[in-house]
Every structure is written in C-alpha cells, then in structure tokens.
Structure 1
Amino acid sequence: MNKKGLVLCIVFLLCAGMVMAAGSKESATVPATAGIGTPDKPVTVTYLCKDVDPVTDAQQLGILEKDIEEGLAKQGTYVDLVILSAPTGSYATVVPIAFRTGQINPDLIYFQGNDQPLAQEGLLEDLTPYIEKSTNVKAIMADHNKAAMKNYPYLLWLAPARVQIPVMRSDWFASLQSSKALLANPSVDNYYALFKEIKDKGLAKWPITTDGGILKLDSVFNHAFGITATIIKENGKWVYSQATDATKNKLAFYAKLYKDGLLDNEYVTKTWETMEQAFYEGTAGFVAGTAGDVVNVYNNKMKEAQGVELAVLPPAKGVSQAYQSIDVTKESRGFAMNADSKVKDAAWAVLEYMAGPEGRILDKLGLEGIHYTMENGKYVLTKQFPSWWAKFWPTMNGLDTSKVVGEVLSSPAIASLDAAAKYFAPDTNVLLPEDLLPLKDAMDKLYREYSTDIIRGVRPISDFDEFVTKWNAAGGTRISDYLATVLK
C-alpha cells in the first residue's frame, strides 16, 4: 500500500470509530429492546393469562393492547400484542396439556402450576439472561423473586410473597366477645371460640368457608400445629409434612370444625367464585385471600355488598406462629416464555415495559377514562378503579403513587401485606427429579383423599396411620432417601 492509500485508510478508520462512538453514546439512552420491529411491520407477540379473556372483555383488553403497543413504540419497539383465550376447563390443568400438545403456542404464557415437567422437557425458556440484561424487571424484583428465579429460572412472577391472609367483616369481628382474646393470644382454642361465637350468634351459616381444599386454612393453622415447612425432619429423617403427627393433629382439629358445623360442610364442592359469593352475601364469615391485591378485591366487594371493610387476622399461635412458609424453590405461578418462540426479544420487551414506570401505571391503575382520569397532572381514580387488577405484575414496586388521587390499595390490603411481612417464615423444599414427580403426584392424591375423608367424618382420624403406610409405599420412603442426599 502506498503512502496516500495508507493515509486514506487511517482517515476511514478514524471516521468509522467516531460514528461508532456516537452511536454507542446515543444507544445508552435507548431501551435495550429498542430496534425491534418497525412502524409498518410490528412483531406479533401472543400472550395467554388466566382470567384475561379477549372474548368476555374485548373492549378493555383491546384498549390495553393498544396502550402497551403505543408505549413500546415511543421507546422504538414495535409490537402487535395479541391476547389469546385459554382452553375451556381448569386453567392449571388444561393449559399445560394444551401447550405440550401444540393446541396452543403463545409466546408468553401464564402458568398456575404443572409447568415444571414442561421446563424439564426444554419447552420453557431460561429467563436468566433476559433478567440480567434488564433494567425495569431487575429493579422491581423482591428478594423472594430473586431467590426463586435462581432456583427455577423459567417462571417469573413479580408479586408480593403469595401468602393467604385470613379476613372477616370488621363489624362482625368487633361485635364478638372472643375477638379481643383472639388478638391478645391467637391460639387454636381462641380461634375455635371465635368460630363458635359466630355460629351461636347466627351471624353466618358457616363461620369458615374455603374453595374446595384446605390450603387457605393451612395458612392460618399449619405453624400452630408444628407444620413449619413442606419438608421437615421427624425421627431423624427428612419427610414431607403431610405424613407427620403434626398433620394428623391438624386434621383432627379440622374434623372437629366440620362436625361442629363451623367449617362449611359444602367446602369440597366450592369454587373460588361460590366461596367469594358466600362470603359477600354473609352465608360464610371467614375466608383467606392472597395478601395485597386479592384482599383488596375482597375488601372492595364487601364494601359494595355490605358497606363494611374487612378485618385482617393473625395466624394461629402454637408450636410456631406464621402464615404459610414461603417456598422459593420456584414460583408457584407466573409468566414463562415459550422456548420455541421466534420472537423472544419482542416478548421480553413486553414484560420489561410493564415493569417500567409507564407500564406500572398502566398495569396497576388501569385504563385512562375508565379507571382513572387525568386532572392537573394527577391520576384521579374513578369508581370503576376497584374492578381493575394487574394483568402482568401485581407488585406495588415501581409504582409512583405521589401523583395518584385515591386509594390504590385499601387499608385492609395494606394491613395484609404488613401482616405477611411480620409473620414471614421461609420454607424448606426441593425440586424433585423428573422420575420422582409421578410418585409425588400419587402421594399428593392419596393425601387429598384421606384428608378430605377424615375432615368430613367419612374416615376416623385413626385411619391417618393407614394413610402414612400407603404414603410411604407409594413413594414416601424412596423420596425420603432422595431428600437425605439433598438436605444436610
């Protein structure tokens, strides 16, 4: 190369470097997801979530799609968000099956259980690299979110720890003589006295109701009976708590509640809809709901139905005192990304946007003109606001409430979050390998059968010992041997 050519080459490289530097400086202010799609050719992202149905709620969800698309477009990301309808049936059961068989193939999919086998089959995307590069998602993750994602990086759920908090009508609670004793010492006996007084005074047909199972009751009573974790050590062995003496004692108490007419004798057939209806109408007096948003919904609907707010109650006190122990081996529910999605960056851009400042307003406050109006630069919540719930991230993290006029969360909802933090307990649990999952499923089915029959008086409490024998034969012994290799 001659001297002139060498000089031209150097000049070219210097100019290229300046352009690249300028580009780098400019990109620092642009979201990491910018550059996806174009105004003329947005990237289609499909989304599936429980109770988010474009058929039954076409108007509001159409506005939501448009608002998200416009918000992303302002950041240089162009997507066409399409909300899908879930298959008919129990969401937690039918959605994983439909996803595995290809009946549905969304880019973003909300699971409410039964996702672990899909992850083990490689059908769900590892979200770790997306989170590491994120700004918004990372900023609003709580410690339990971070721990769960570290253990199981396929399901993301930016929400307060999912704790079931017991509530009842505040006017009824204040009218009971047993309420003061309960607050002073929330023992199992004092809880029984509260339920008995509700029954004796004729306030409700059923002092307690639940939605087909006993998990909501367990959040109130597990620790009192010594069920402090999913897996506990008994007689020197790691075992699942369902097959322990502590659970036997708890089921005997539930059976007494049922026999004495204090536990809804129709609880087995109750769905969450009929459970809530019985609560609002006054047929039942005591339920448990997830801290934060769900308690908020319960409170708002009770105010609408009966004109009163809810009282938040503590967990029962005994061997220990806490609501259900928080499992961080994995999220029990949340959003996953389809491993076969062709638009993963665009799909993540939607989740990232909804975790950012604009997305938090949209997700938590709802739709302008319906759930809030803008007045003098402030978000003024309307009478329709209580009907809205977050379609992505239920957490309050990242939401600037300084310009909000109105109550985003009711006092009882805030109290439920405070109570969840006060009575927090970490869980001990492990993710089982795929070959042990069918055994655990069979064991859980056995527990549901025996526990339901014992509570309803179909079987005597003495049959619990028979259950333990069958439990161990079905896989309890084999899994205990495995747990011994994992838990030290």
Structure 2
Amino acid sequence: MKSQKRKVLQSLSTVLLVAAIAGCSSNPSSSPNVSTTPTAAATKAPEKQMMMQFYSVTPEKVVTDGYAGKLIREHFNIDFEVQPRKGETYVQNTQLSIASGEVPDTFEGLDVINFDKLVDQDVLAEIPPELLEKHAPKYMEWLKKALGDDPLRYSMRNGKNYAMPILWTIGSKRMVFGMREDWLNKVGITKVPETLDELEAAMIKFRNEDPDNNGKKDTYGLTGGADSVEGFFSPVFGAFGLYPGLFTEKAGKVVLGEVQPGAKDALEVLHKWYKQDLIDPEFIINKGTNITDKVVSEKIGVAWNSWWAFIPAEAFSGGDFYDKLLEKNPNAKWAITSGPVGPNGEFGINQTNPVVGSGRQYAKKLEQDPDKMIKYIEIIEATNFADLELYEKLRYGEENKTYKKVNGDIEWIPPYDKEEERIKFGLSFFSVPGGFNDYDLLAPYMTKNKYMTTRKDIEAKVKGKYDLLSPIQRPVFAEYKDRLDQFTKKNLVDFVTGKRPVGEFDKYVEEWKQMGGDKVMAEAQQKYDELFKK
C-alpha cells in the first residue's frame, strides 16, 4: 500500500513539476541562451489570466475593482470573482452546487462530518504533501510548529491528503490562571500563591477579610460553570495532571480526565473549598457572561480565561477582565500563573486543539488543472506567510495615504479611520484566502509595540493539554456524548456540593462505563492508534 501510494504521489508530482517547468520556460529571463530575434511566439497575445474564486462573508462590503482587488490581480497575474458565503447556509449551498454540477473551486470551513462526506463522494482533489512542501514551505513550517512532524494527520483519508489545515494556533496556548494581586496585597499576602494549599490560604482571606473594602462579606475565592465538562474547574484537575472533557494521552493510552482515579482527589479539594464557602455557590447556574460579570463586579478574586482577557484590549483583542475591571476600579491588578501546582508538581489548564475545522479543500476538477491548484496554494503562501509587505498592503492600503506607522504601530489616516471610507477605497473584505493566521509572525499587526513584552510574558504562562481527537469523526462518541455529558455534569456538581459523597467516585465511573463510556474509550483508543501510532 505504501509503495503504491508513493508511486501515485511521485507520478502526480512529476506532472506538476513538468507543468511548472513549462510555465517557467515562457519567461525569457529563465534561459541564458534565448534569442532576441522577434518570433511569432514572442508577439502572441498575452496568455489569458486564470479566473480564481474567492469568497466573502460580507459581500456587500466588497469593491472588486478597488485597491486590494487591483493589487491581487497585478501581483498574481490572475482575475477573480467573489462568491458570497454566509455561515448558516454555506453547507446547504455547497451541497446544492455539487448536485447541480456547478462545483466551486474550493471549500473552506466545513466541519469534519461534511468533509468526510465530500471525500466519500469523490468530490475533492488530492493535495499531495510534496506539493505543499514545494509551493508553500512556510505554511508547512507553520503546521509542523503547531502539530509536529506529521501535520497532515487530521486531513489524510485512505493514505491521501485532501485538505490544507487551517489552524487556530493560539487556541492551544490560550488559557491562564489569574488572581487579584491588589487583593493579595490587601490581605497581607506578598507572594503570589503557587500551590493548591497556598491558593486555599489566599481564598480564605478573600472570603473573610473584605478585600474589596466595602464592609460586607460578599466576596469569594473563585467561581466556575457547570454548563460543560471541559469548563468544570479545569485548573484544579490540572493540579492532578488531568483535563476533564478532553481525550489526552498518557503512556500511550487515551484518557479522559473526569473518570481517571486522580479526579477523585480533585473533587475532594473542590468539595472542601465548597464547604469552606470559598466557591461561589451560584457556580451551578453560571454561564460565561455570569462569570465575567462577577469578576468585573469584584465578587471573585480568582479566575481563569484566555490570556488576552487579562491585558488591555489594545494589546490584542480582548480585555474582558482587564479593561472592564479597571473602569470600575483603577487600582485593580492581576497576578498571572499557569494554574495551581498539585502534590506531585503537576499543573495546567484545558486548552483548545488548534485544528478547529476541516481546513481548505479543492474540487476534484483541479486535479486536471494542477496549475490552478498551485496558484491557489501560492496565493495562500504569499498573502499569509511569505510576503509581509503584500499582507500589509492588502490589509491597510497605501502607506502615508490610508495609514501611517508611528513607532512601528499602524494608525489609520483620516478619513480611512472610518470603515465606510476603507470600503470605498477597496480594502479587502474577502478571503484571498484568509484564516491562516500565524500569530507569532503577525504579532506586530495585532499588538501595539508598548504591549509586546506584556503579551509575550503572559503567553509564556500558558500550560496544559488539548483534546487530541476533537477534529476526528467518531460515530460511537457522537452517539453517546450527550447522555454521558449530562450524567457527568450532574455527578461532578453533586460531588462538589456534597449531594453525592466523593467516596462514591468509583461507583460513578462504573456507571459511566455502563452508559456507553467503555465503548467511547475503545473507539478513542482505536482512533488514537490510527493517528499517532503509524
């Protein structure tokens, strides 16, 4: 099988290479012995430009003959059309276009179920890894940095690659643990708590010593939410090396944090804190906005969130905790860690798999038009990884006309500080294509210079694991997920509140297995072995 696969890939690669060489031969500068005598070939009309397809989720804002559109046409010697793409109707419209025979060149943003359907229907073109290595080397470096030496494992089917993964790389390194440093100072703690015991001691003071100076006993150590297993007091489980709701690896075996033996220890800690009145009793009904409200209203002294929530919005794109809290209390300050350290030196918080969709695919018809597929790939490489000057122009326009640089930061020049003026000028509101954000490479465009050190320091605090199997379709998991989630959430809450004794943890695990958990874990191990033990 491997030999046959290698022959197929080599054959296609050879065809593409020949096509690329043929394209180069039409350029006189590529040959040292080209005659300068005019010939019929030299006086031929220019070759017709390829017609490419880009999409927009805001087609009403696209000016195709504006600045960005002209730049793309000239830079890549192409023409293009813009197709509207609304998220709520995209899958349906894709299916209709396939049924009608008007298959688009590309697909992007499909979930794994619909991706697998297109593979099974033989709608998608193969994208050989060798092709990506040759025409998008920086893209491949980006993938490997995030996913390791086999970065296409999630997009391979039957030994063939059918997608260019689009990663949210920042998802795998986003969650950090925050404590109100001004509260610590108020209650006489000069060292930022590191261990579970030190955190507990601080939370006791947060509850009992009026850190917000309002004369009321209305503050708690921490709160949480019970609306998902993944979000259930993750840093406390992380102190025991566990990640609830996530399929992670331990000694070659797939494990699920909430049913591992160490989860009993985490639940005992949480139950103890609940009895001590350190945990907000409303955690049972909290949603994400409730937690933010309680942090901003200074009812909670400990929280975990994406790192950008703890720094100014100007430093990235968040500021939920930082900016909103500072509006209320200019003296508020956060101390950030990677999470409390447990008895065996373990710590971490649930992170997000950077593979959050099926990526970008090409229609089967492009196997017969390899030059066009290569052109799409080269556009991705240039506009996202290899040509920052081009990236800057497409995003911001003309320097000293639409924007200027002040101490390295980009600032809009009026009237282009208004979106309607940028639209009229023709700045890009369509994918060329987009979504391939290298957050390290593009950091200067996302973070003000004065905050760059702040951003790097807080990013360095991120520790934890993500679900290795979330991008993979698992029929057994899909069948049992809802009932197992509901059962698990109820029991985790009951263990923390004391409604069910933590001593019954082993019984709960057996009940979970009998409800289908054992089948889910067997499937998970099989999928893990297929992905990671080749």
Name which of 150, 153, 169 aligns with 2:152. Answer: 150
Indicate the structure (1 or 2) with the bigger Cα radius of gyration. Answer: 2
Root mean square deviation of aligned Cα? 5.1
Change (3 A) 1:447 1:209: same
Residue 270 of structure 1: CA displacement? 3.8
Relative to 1, partners in 2 of residues 1:299 and 1:472: Cα closer, same or farther, differing over 3 Å?
A: same
Q: Shift in Å at residue 243 of structure 1?
A: 1.3
Match of 1:302 in 2: 322
Aligned to 1:8: none
Which of 302, 320, 334 is equivalent to 1:286? 302
- Shift of the 452–406 alpha-carbon distance from structure 1 to 2, 3 Å rule, reads same
Q: Assess if the C-alpha contact under 8 Å between 1:299 and 1:412 holds in 2.
A: no
Deviation at residue 85 of structure 1 after TM alignment: 4.3
Is 1:413 matched with 2:455? yes
2:219 & 2:108 partners in 1: Cα distance? 40
Give, as a single letter, the amino acid of the residue that structure 2 aligns with 1:302: Y
Alpha-carbon spacing, 1:409–1:266, altered in 2? closer, same or farther (3 Å): farther
CA contact (8 A) 1:232 1:238 kept: yes
- Structure 1 residue matching 2:27: 3-state secondary structure: helix
- The answer to whether the 8 A contact 2:107-2:360 is kept is yes
2:440 is paired with a residue whose SS is coil
Which one of the candidate residues 404, 415, 421 is aligned to 1:374? 404
> Quick one: structure 1 residues 205 and 37, their matched pair in 2 at CA, closer, same or farther if it must change by over 3 Å?
farther
What residue in structure 1 maps to residue 35 of structure 2?
none
What secondary structure, in the 3-state scheme, does the structure 2 residue paired with 1:144 have?
helix
Q: Secondary structure at the match of 2:449?
A: coil
What secondary structure, in the 3-state scheme, does the structure 2 residue paired with 1:287 have? strand
- For 1:187, give the aligned amino acid: T
Report 1:70-469 matches (<5 A): 70-76=70-76, 77-81=78-82, 84-87=85-88, 109-110=108-109, 115-122=111-118, 129=129, 131-132=132-133, 133-141=135-143, 143-146=145-148, 149-153=151-155, 155-160=165-170, 161-178=172-189, 180=191, 182=193, 186-200=194-208, 201-203=210-212, 205-210=219-224, 212-213=227-228, 215-216=230-231, 218-227=233-242, 230-231=247-248, 239-291=255-307, 296-299=316-319, 302-303=322-323, 305-306=325-326, 307=330, 310-318=334-342, 319-324=344-349, 331-334=354-357, 336-337=359-360, 345=373, 351-352=380-381, 353-356=383-386, 357-358=388-389, 361=392, 373-375=403-405, 378-381=408-411, 392-393=435-436, 395-399=438-442, 401=444, 406-407=448-449, 409=451, 411-420=453-462, 423=463, 434-439=474-479, 441=481, 442-469=483-510
Structure 2 match to 1:10:
none
Q: The residue matched to 1:222 in structure 2 has which SS? A: helix
Q: CA deviation at 1:414?
A: 1.8
Give the C-alpha shift of residue 138 in structure 1.
Answer: 2.8
Question: Could you tell which deviates more after superposition, 239-248 or 171-180?
Answer: 171-180
Task: Please list every run of 5 or more consecutive structure 1 residues that lacks an aligned counterpart in the other structure.
Answer: 1-16, 28-34, 49-53, 88-94
Asked whether the 8 Å contact 1:44–1:79 carries over to 2, the reply is yes
- How many pairs are equivalent? 429
State the alpha-carbon separation in 2 of the partners of residues 36 and 207 from structure 1.
69
TM-score for the superposition, normalised by structure 1? 0.66
Distance in 2 of aligned mates of 1:68 and 1:267: 48
Q: State the shift of 1:374 in Å.
A: 0.4
Could you tell me which runs of 5 or more consecutive residues in structure 2 were left unpaired when the two chains were aligned.
1-20, 32-45, 156-162, 213-217, 367-371, 418-430
Aligned counterpart for 1:475 among listed residues 516, 521, 526: 516
| Mean CA deviation greater in 476-485 or 241-250 | 476-485
* Aligned sequence identity (%): 13
Offset, 1:180:
0.8
Partner of 1:3: none
> Relative contact order: is structure 1 or structure 2 higher (C-alpha 8 Å, sep ≥ 6)?
2
- CA deviations on 1:121-142 (whole Å, 9 max, x unpaired) are 3468876647433144234445
> Partners in 2 of 1:377 and 1:415 — Cα distance?
21
- Looking at structure 2, the residues matched to 430 and 408 of structure 1 have their Cα atoms a distance apart, in angstroms, of 37
- The amino acid that maps onto 1:21 is S
| Residue equivalent to 2:12 | none
Normalising by structure 2, what TM-score? 0.61
Distance in 2, matches of 1:268 and 1:347, equals 49
> SS of the residue aligned with 2:489?
helix
1:233–1:26 distance in 2 versus 1, CA, 3 Å: closer
Q: Deviations over 1:97-142 (max 9, x none)?
A: 868977999955447xxx3433433468876647433144234445
- One-letter amino acid matched to 2:296: Y
Residue 165 of structure 1 deviates from its aligned partner by: 0.7
Cα distance change on mapping 1:98 and 1:179 into 2, 3 Å = farther
1:21 aligns to 2:25 (yes or no): yes
Q: Provide the rounded CA distance (Å) in 1 between the counterparts of 2:137 and 2:279.
A: 47
Q: Which of 46, 51, 75 is the aligned partner of 2:55?
A: 46
Measure the CA separation in 1 of the matches of 2:501 and 2:97: 44
| Secondary structure, counterpart of 1:221 in structure 2 | helix
